[in-house]
Amino acid sequence: MKVAGAATVKRWTRRCLRPWRAILLTTSLVAAVAFGAGYFYFVYRVDLQTDDAAAQEVVTAASDGAVALLSYSPDTLDHDFANARSRLTDNYLTYYRQFADQVVGPAAQRGRVTTTASVVRAAVAELHPNSAVVLVFVKQKTASKQKPEPIVTSSSIRVTLTKVNSSWLIERFDPM
């Protein structure tokens, strides 16, 4: 009789555990899918970090930065350079500070050179969550003590930006 009782207990145990296996398997599957979806939504959202609003933000930062870097006057040189420096990463700031102090500043003061830049067009070439490349088309008007009538020139610039503390700053500024 002990054998019959043990078989009954085994059968009863299997019957009780059968629905729990299905429940446990279903719960595990739902949890795995939920984790994957949550991970994708909260961590891997490159498409949301590079949407149209992000592209517009990058174009604005590159355009404003190009105007700040290329516009200066001998009367407001310190203010103009400070405005430009605020739009640069630390890497590019080192180069710009040296170039502005040794080349642009003295030339602007000596020749009373005034340069005003305006962006004609700008477009995103590459856009990533923390970096971007923007092609900026600029028109510059330059006047000096020797040539008071402004000379208008056009140029295209490849502006590489890096996101630093949620602000887009210029990492490279390459005339083409």
CB distance 175 to 157 below 8 Å = yes
Q: What is the mean pLDDT of residues 152-160?
A: 97
Model confidence pTM above 0.95: no
> For residue range 20-55, what is the model confidence (pLDDT) as tens digits?
777 888 899 999 999 888 887 776 666 666 678 889
CA 168 to chain centre: 5
Residue in 174, 22, 153, 4 with CA at minimum distance from that of residue 92 = 174
Which is it for the CA torsion 123, 126, 127, 130, positive or negative? negative
Write down the pLDDT at residue 14: 76
> For residue range 87-113, what is the model confidence (pLDDT) as tens digits?
999 999 999 999 999 999 999 999 999
> For residue range 112-143, what is the model confidence (pLDDT) as tens digits?
999 999 999 999 999 998 999 999 999 999 99
CA 33 to chain centre: 31
Residue 1 has pLDDT above 50, yes or no: no
- Tell me which of 45-49, 62-66, 144-148 is least confident: 45-49
Tokens of 53: 């609003």
